[in-house]
Structure 1
C-alpha cells in the first residue's frame, strides 16, 4: 500500500505540474506542494509559500520557515502594533524530502540547528557563517519579532514537520525517540511553549490534496427564503447548518471563501468577538440573529430546492468575525462531545452577481460599518480592475483577489499578486529596490504609498512590463544556477539561488538603468521599455556585475548580505558604480 501511495502522489504532483505550467525543478516544486498541504488551513498564496521557502544549501535542515501570529501569516515587515495583548506566535519548521522513507538524519539536523538559531545568547554574526542568507534572514526576523512582542506576553507554538513520500506507520522507533529529544531541547530555549513534531507521508499528502476548494456549496435554511428575484435572497439558517456550510468534512474552516473579506479575524480577545461569544454562550431565550448583524454572501448563481439553497462561487464578504466565533464555539462543543442541539439561527443575505463592479460595491458597502484604512480596500479600486482586465487580455493573471487564479488552476508563473506588482513597480519604476526588498507587505499600507504605486500616471503597459520582467528574472536565475553559469557562480557564497533571490529587485532596476543608460531615470522613461524582453546574456552579465558590487559593498561596511542590501546607501552605491557602456 505504501508503494501505491507513493505512485498516486507522484501522479497528483505531475497533474498539478501540468495544470499550473510549473517550471520549478522537481525537488523545489515538491517542497512548495508539501508546504501548501501542511499549511492548507492558512490558504497561503504562491508568493507566501515561496517567501517561506529556504533555498539552496546550508539550510540547517530547514526547507520551509513560516511564521504566523494569531493564525495570520506575517513577513519581516509586519506591523507588530496591530497585535494586541497575549498574541500567539506560531512557527513552522518544515523539512521536505522526496525520499520514500523517513530518516534519523533529518531530526539530527534540526537538533544541531536549533542549538544556534534558538539560543538568543548567540548573536546573528556568530551563526551566519554556518547558514545561508535566506535562513539567517528568517531567523533574524523571528528573533526580533519574539523579543519585540515580549512585553505583550505572547504564547509560542513551534511545530516541526518532516514530510516525505514514506509511510508514517512504518517509521522507526528511534526516529520518534529523537523527536522527543527535539521537543525537550526546544523547551530549553522557550519554556512554556507548545512544541509539536509531525510526520507527513504520501498518504497524508494525498488526503490533504483531495480537500478540494469547492466554490459550489449547499446551505440548509430554516424558514422560507425572502427574495425579490433570482439575484437576491434573505434567509435564516441554524448555527449548526451554517457551521457545516463553512467547514470541510474534517471540521477545518474553509478559509478560502473569505478571501474577499477586507478584514482578517481579529481573535477571541477583541471586544466585538467577546460579545458574539457571550451571546452564543447565553442561556436566555433570545435568538442569535436578533443580536447580530448577520452574514453577507456573494455568489455567481443560486438555486433553491426545498429548504436548501445551492450557491456557485461562494464568497463571504462580511461576517468574518461572526463566522470565526461561531466556528470555534461549535467546534469546541463537538470536541467536548456535547450534544449539538443548537437550533438558534443566523441571518444571511445573499447577492447573486457576475458583474465585478457590482460585486466590489457590495464589498465596500458592507465593510464600512467601522473605520478601515483606505489601502485595505485596494482590491475594489477601479485601477485594480483595470490592471486585472489588461493583464487578462495578455494572458497574465493579476490576483487582486488573493488566490483566485491559483484556485482556478492558472499558470503558476503568470499569476501576479498585488504586493508582488507593487514591489516590482517600486523597484523598477521608482528605483527603490531596498524598499521593495525590506517592506514587501507594508508598501501599500499607507494611503500615500498606495497612490504613488497605483496611479493613472503609470500606463497599464508599464505595470505588465514590471511584472513580466520580475517573473522572467526568476526563471532566468533558476536556469543560471542549475546550469552553473560561470560568470554568476563567482564564489562559493553565490552558488545557489538563496542569496541571489534577495537581489532580484535590485537586478530588475539595474537592467532598466543599463538599458536607458542613466541612473536617474524618471517613471515616464520606463514606458519606452514596455515591449522589452531582456536577453539571458544581458541578464547574466548584469547579475554578475551586481554580485561583485554587492560583495564590495558589504565587505567595506562589514555587514552581512541580508542586512546590507536593505539599505538605501547600497542602492546609491550600485547606481554610482554600475558600468553604463557595456550593453550588448
Structure 2
C-alpha cells in the first residue's frame, strides 16, 4: 500500500476507532469516502464492511436521492413518502491495497457484478450480499417510482497505484462498462477507477468543509447587527451559482449544503416549483428570473469579499432549497442572462442560526415539527452533554448542528447526531429497537413528540448514547463478537431490563435518573468480569444465527428479547447471591 494512502487510512481508523487488518480497514475507508460523496447521512463505517464469502465485491451502497438506505424497509419508506420520482444510485465497490493495476482483478470485479445482477446467482454469497441482492430486486419492482424508469450504476475500483494508462487496464474497464450497459437495467453505468490521488481527494471531501468562490456583479452590505460579523445582498449569474455553489467535483448536486434547510426538495411537478421551471424554459422570462424569485439565504462562518469575488467556507443554504434544486434540474436551460439574488450572512452563533432558519422559513409555510435542531428540548440535550462529560472516559458530543465538531479532532464514535440520539433513546427507553433498526426516520418524524418530549429527563439521552458508544466500541475491537452488530439496537433495550428490571420509571420521572446511573456504571465496567456479564447477556437474549431481516422488525421478537433479558437478570442476581 502506498505510504500516503496508508497514513490517511490510519487517520481514518483512529478517528472511527476501527481495528483489524489493513485490507478490511481500507475497505471501510473506501466505502465511507464514497458514501459521503453521495450523502451527508451519519453512518458508522464499521457497518459498511462484511465478513463471509467475498465474490469480488467489497461493498454495495444504495442511495435514494441523497439518502443512504440499507434495507428493503427503508426503500419502501422513502419511496412511499416521496412526492416525486426519485434518483436511485447503486454503487459497487472493490478495494485493493496494491500499488499496481491488475486486469484479472478487474475481470473478477466484473464477473461478481454480473453475478449480482443476474436473476439466478452462481457465486456463494454472505448475508450482506444476499441482503443487497434483495434490495436490488425490490428496486426493480418499483421502477415506476424512479426518475427515468431505472436506477443508475456507479462502479468504483480502487487501488493505491498511479492513474491507469496501460491499454489492457483501460480495456478491462471499458469491457466492464459495456457489460453493465448491455444488461439494460440502468439508465447509465459510470465506471470510476480510483487511483491513490483520487482516493485521497475523495477522503478529503468526505467530511471536510465545503468551500467555493463566486463572481458577483452587485454587492450591497447590510448595516452591522448583533451576532452578525458581515452581511450582504449579492446579485450573481444563475449559471455561476449552479456551477460554483450547487455542483460538486462530480457535477452532482452538493446535498450537504442543505443540511440546515428544514425541508427537502418537493419536485418540479406542481405549484411554485413548476412555475419556476416554466420561467427557466422561456428565454424571455428567464431574463427576469432574479426579479421574480425571492432568492437564496446562505449562512457561513467565513465570508470574504475580494473585489467582485465572493468567497464562502462551510456554507449552508438555509432558505432557497426549492429554487436551488429547480435551477440545478434545469441547468441545461439556464443561460448567461439569468440572475439570482443571494442574502449572505456570516455568523457562527448557534442561537442566531436558529433564529435565521426559523424566520426565513416562516415565509414558506414550514411546520414547527421540521425545526428539530431549534427545539428547546434538543438545545437542552446539547447543554446536558456539555456538562455531563466531566472526564474523558465519559465525554460524548451531541452534534445539534451538522459538522459542529468537524475541526475538533474528536473520534467520530463519540459524536452523536440528532437522528442517532433518537435511535438510541427509542431503542433503550421507548422499547422500539425494531423501529430504531429498520425505520429510523420515524423516530424523528411521526414519533418525534415522544422521543423529544419537553418533559423527558435529559439523563436518558446521555445514558442511551453512552451505552451505544461503549457497545459499539466493544463490537469494533472484538471484545464482543462483531456478529452481534445486527442486534445492536435490541441489545440496548436488553441492557436496560438486565440492569433495572421490568418496572422502569417513565422517561419524565425523576426516578429514571437512578436507572441511568446504574446503566452508566454497568457500561463503564470494562474489567473482564463486568465485560463478561455483557457478553453473557448478548448470548442469552437470542441466537444470532436465527436472526433474519423479517424477524428484526416483528414486535414479538422485541418481547422475546425483553423476556430473555429479564431471565438473564434473574440468573445473574441468583449467581451473585450464591457467591456472597
TM-score, shorter chain, exceeding 0.5: yes
Q: Is the 8 A contact 1:298 1:353 kept in 2?
A: yes
Work out whether 1:527 is the aligned partner of 2:550.
no
1:366 equivalent among 336, 360, 365: 360
Measured in 1, the distance between the counterparts of 2:32 and 2:17 equals 15
3-state DSSP of counterpart to 2:490: helix
Work out whether 1:166 is the aligned partner of 2:161.
yes
Aligned to 2:131: 137
1:44 equivalent among 14, 27, 40: 40
Aligned-pair distance for 1:363?
Answer: 0.8
Measured in 1, the distance between the counterparts of 2:242 and 2:323 equals 11
Work out whether 1:504 is the aligned partner of 2:504.
no
Q: Specify every segment of 5 or more residues in structure 2 that has no aligned partner in the other structure, as ranges.
A: 390-394
3-state DSSP of counterpart to 1:297: strand
Instruction: Tell me: CA distance 1:570–1:317, structure 2 relative to 1, closer, same or farther (3 Å).
Output: same
Matches within 5 A, 1:88-487: 88-103=87-102, 104-105=104-105, 107-108=107-108, 111-112=111-112, 114-115=114-115, 117-120=116-119, 130-150=124-144, 154-169=149-164, 173=168, 176-177=171-172, 180=175, 184=179, 187-188=182-183, 190-191=184-185, 193-211=187-205, 213-214=208-209, 217-229=212-224, 231=228, 232-243=231-242, 245-246=244-245, 247=247, 253-267=253-267, 269=269, 272-284=272-284, 286-300=287-301, 302=303, 304-311=305-312, 313-327=314-328, 329-330=330-331, 332=332, 342-372=336-366, 374-393=368-387, 394=389, 395-406=395-406, 409-446=409-446, 449-480=447-478
Measured in 1, the distance between the counterparts of 2:152 and 2:304 equals 44
Q: Which has the higher contact order (CA 8 A, sep 6+)?
A: 1
Aligned to 2:542: 550
Of 302-311 and 471-480, the range deviating more from structure 2 = 302-311
Instruction: Tell me: CA distance 1:367–1:121, structure 2 relative to 1, closer, same or farther (3 Å).
Output: farther
3-state DSSP of counterpart to 1:260: coil
Instruction: Tell me: CA distance 1:272–1:114, structure 2 relative to 1, closer, same or farther (3 Å).
Output: farther
Instruction: Tell me: CA distance 1:321–1:540, structure 2 relative to 1, closer, same or farther (3 Å).
Output: farther
Aligned-pair distance for 1:519?
Answer: 6.8
Aligned to 2:392: none
Q: TM-score, normalised by structure 2?
A: 0.81
Aligned to 2:57: 62
3-state DSSP of counterpart to 1:456: coil
3-state DSSP of counterpart to 1:228: coil
Q: TM-score, normalised by structure 1?
A: 0.81
3-state DSSP of counterpart to 1:162: strand
Work out whether 1:566 is the aligned partner of 2:553.
yes
Write the deviation string for residues 465-497 of structure 1: whole angstroms up to 9, x where unpaired. 11111111011122236xxx7xx5xxxxxxxx3
CA RMSD of aligned residues (A): 3.5
3-state DSSP of counterpart to 1:502: helix
Instruction: Tell me: CA distance 1:367–1:298, structure 2 relative to 1, closer, same or farther (3 Å).
Output: same
